[in-house]
Amino acid sequence: MPQKKPLTIVSKTAARIAAVQIFYNTIISKRNISDVFQDYIISFKGDLENEFEIKTLNEEYLNSLVLGFNINLNKEIEKLLNNEWKIERISAVDKAILFAGIIELNLDNNLTKNIIISEYIEIAEQMGGEAKFINKLLDKISKTKILNTI
C-alpha cells in the first residue's frame, strides 16, 4: 500500500491547484484577480479541502502565489516560445499552470526546481493540460528566473 503524503505537502499541493484555478478564472473572465480570489475562497475552497481530506489548504502559500500574478507574464512566456508558437496558441489551462509555476519558481522557498516542476506536470495531467509542454517551458523558465525581469 503506498504511503500517503504528509498533510503539509498535501495542503501545499491544494494551494497550487487553487492558484491555478484562480489564474484560469482570471484569464477566462478578464476580471480582477482579487475579485476572483475572493469568490474562489467563498465558493470553492471548502470543496478542494474536502477533496484532499485536509482541514485547510496552505493559505499563506496560496496568498504568495496569487500576489505574484501578473498578466504581463504572457509577454515573458512568449519570448521563450519557438517561432512556430504564439502565446495565443497556449490554452488558458496551460497559461494558468505556467503562471503558477513561474511564480513558485521565483519564490524564496526551500523547494528544488525539480519538485516544483513535477508538481505542475502532475497538475497539468489532472487538468487536461499539455504536461510535456509545461515541463519543457518551466524547465526553460527555471534557468532564466523570468520574474526577476518584470
Which residue from 13, 7, 21 is spatially nearest to 111, judged by alpha carbons? 13
Residues 14 and 55: beta-carbon distance below 8 Å: no
Q: How confident is the model at residue 150 (pLDDT cuts 50, 70, 90)?
A: very low
The DSSP secondary-structure symbol of 81 reads S
In a domain, 22, yes or no: yes
Q: What tens digit of pLDDT does each residue of 45-102 get?
A: 888 888 888 888 889 999 999 999 988 888 888 888 877 777 888 899 999 999 999 9
Cα–Cα dist 2/124, whole Å? 22
Identify the band that residue 2 occupies on the pLDDT scale cut at 50, 70 and 90. very low
The answer to whether the CB of 101 falls within 8 A of the CB of 55 is: no
Domain span holding position 31: 7-145
* Selection from 11, 20, 1, 22 nearest residue 51 by Cα: 11
Asked, for residue 13, whether it belongs to a domain, the answer is yes
- Kindly give the residue spans of alpha helices, DSSP state H, lying in 1-150: 7-29, 33-43, 45-52, 59-67, 73-80, 92-105, 113-127, 131-142
* Residue 110 in this model has a pLDDT that exceeds 50: yes
Query: Would 133 be classed as within a structural domain?
Result: yes
> Residue 39 falls within a domain, yes or no?
yes
- pLDDT band with cut points at 50, 70 and 90 for residue 23: very high
